[in-house]
Structure 1
Amino acid sequence: MNAVRRALGSSAVQVFLVLVGLVWVTPLAGLLMSSLRSAEDTARGGWWTVFSSPGQLSLDNYSALLENAGITRAFWNTVLISVPTTVLVVVLAALAGYAFAWLDFPGRDAVFLVVVALLVVPVQVGLLPVAKLFGQLGLFGTIPGVVLFHVAYGLPFAVFLLRNYFAELPKEMLEAARMDGGGEWRIFTRLVLPVGRPAIASLAIFQFLWVWNDMLVALLFADSSSQPLTVELQSQIRQFGSNIDVLAPGAFVSLVVPVVVFFAFQRHFVQGVMAGSVK
């Protein structure tokens, strides 16, 4: 009887997970089908009509997308914003996290409390003051300006996350490395970074997704030559209304890149999320 209950319970969970997966995948499938249909086909019926008329599917929209100067420029702007921001946040946070966790220097705890306090500062509070500062420095409306803003607001959480992860490393392991003559830089690069790879991968995924999908910061700090894909798609909607043959493939490209990044680092992401949950 218990075996039957366990089997039924397991089946119910599996059915529930399948339903959740279908609910999550359906909008993505609809967007993909819409991106492969012409504007005329889209106006005549919903995306599900491709199952009865597969001849609607075509790569013409993507060919036109590649010829759209605004979309292609915005895509590369997004890459030039997201990748440097993610790299800078991860590198700086890893260095600071190790310092706060294992190096003894004056004011360490006070500085770390300031970093923790910055976690509660909303992004909206700094938009106007930083915009004024960037205007004086000549960074307003440039890709470096957008990158610097994202780095500044991404670092508090990143430092907090990696410091807590590094602090859980066995003290004996680091002391043994020091007794063997290893300097702090060697310990950090050869020991701490490999062991902390799950947390670093999780941080990189979170940071990349946040920056790639950002619109608020880009709307204020980027101009027409440096705006990312999210702002360009919003501008296309505002200018042309229902040009689904451009918006659908553009939105799908904007969506599929973070999905690919997530699945590429999925194993490390799960390890990072589960780290410390099981003793």
Structure 2
Amino acid sequence: MSKNSVGLAIFLLIIGNIVAVFSDALIKTLSADGAVFQFVFFRQLTAIIILLPFCLFNRAENLLVGLKWHILRGHIWLFGAIFMVLAINSMPLATANAIFYAAPLLMLPLALLLFQERLTKTTILAAILGFIGVLIVIKPTEITWAAIFAFIVALTMALNNILVRKLPKQLSVFQVLLLTNIVGTPVALALAIWEGRTWDWSAMLTAAGSSGFILIYAGICVMVYRSIEANKVASAEYTGLLAAVAVGIVWFDEIPDLSMALGAAFIILPLIWLAKNEAKQNKLAKLEAVN
């Protein structure tokens, strides 16, 4: 992806976040007292099965380059998945997703600390307005364990997206995703065994569907954040909230209230403003280059 393809990157992130909501919806169909660690292990396992055919045609001699970063991201991804299951099964789908979308705001200081990315007033304001929208949606009158779990998910999402920059450029998206899941599988299996629940293989189909959807999102994140500065496109992550509202209404009869509509406006409108401002800046830069 070209480093100037900000518009395309934003479009891909919008698609990825919409697709990711369906992964969350499948998780919400699980029994509230189901085996969490077992389901997360099934997700890891089915992700590997899905990805292997796509990796067979890629050269693999450099697969172990940057292994420490794969191990770090793989375990961040694993624990994020655990807390995601706990959060989604404890609150409405749109509310959980609203908290997940604190991730773009968290990415800004992380990008500054890890990569010294320059934060403009525009990107900072857009992220702050988006986060205000998140707060309006969740109406934080009290802190619950479910909300804490959801915020941990947001932190793991932010870290994973930022750390994409540390991965070797020669690896394909499929190889990156495969390694992310492989390195976390031993810990996932150990946790599932420690959980001590009877193995319920019927959950494997749900896990496979959830893995398929989330892999599309994760692959898009790898493509985008490898080539575009996070502060320019991270606000596009917020748009999945609208999909979460729609899926919550249709699938789970979760009717949003006025605060959801107001919060969504705070989330979406800054994104539109940010995209238009970026397009304007790119146009001015091209004109200056011509002159």
Instruction: Indicate whether the TM-score tops 0.5.
Output: no
Q: Which has the larger radius of gyration?
A: 1
TM normalised by structure 2 equals 0.30
Per chain length, whose mean CA-contact separation is higher, i.e. which structure has more relative contact order (CA < 8 Å, sep 6+)?
2
TM normalised by structure 1 equals 0.31
